[in-house]
Structure 1
Amino acid sequence: MDLKDKQVGKNKSFIASLKHAFRGIVTVFKEERNMRSHLLSAVLSLVLCWLFHVSTVEWFMILFCCFLVIIIEVLNTVVENIVDLVTGCSYHPIAKKAKDMAAAAVLIAASFSLLIGCIVFLPKLIELF
Structure 2
Amino acid sequence: MHMDLKEKNHKRKQNIWKNTQFRKSFGHAWDGVKTIWQEERNMRNHVAFGMLPIVAGFLFRVSNIEWIVLVLCVFLVIIMEFLNTIIETVVDMVTNYEYHPLAKKAKDIAAGAVLVTACFTVVIAAIIFLPKLIKLVF
2:77 corresponding residue in structure 1:
69
Quote how far apart the aligned CAs of 1:4 are. Answer: 2.6
- Pick aligned residue for 1:24 from 29, 32, 39: 32
- Among 106, 112, 116, the residue aligned to 1:108: 116
- Secondary structure (helix, strand or coil) at the match of 2:134 reads helix
Greater Rg, structure 1 or structure 2?
2
Structure 2 counterpart of 1:117: 125
Q: What is the letter of the counterpart of residue 65 of structure 2?
A: V
Indicate the residue corresponding to 1:6 in structure 2: 13
- CA distances 1:10-34 after superposition (whole Å, capped 9, x unpaired): 1120111111111101111111111
- TM-superposed deviation, 1:122: 1.1
Aligned-residue CA RMSD in angstroms? 1.0
Q: TM-score, normalised by structure 2?
A: 0.89
Question: TM-score, with normalisation over the residues of structure 1?
Answer: 0.95
Unaligned regions of 5+ residues in structure 1, if any?
none
Q: Percent identity, please.
A: 51
Detail structure 1 runs of 4+ shifted over 3 Å in the superposition. Answer: none
Report how many residues are paired. 129
Q: Which runs of 5+ in 2 are unaligned?
A: none
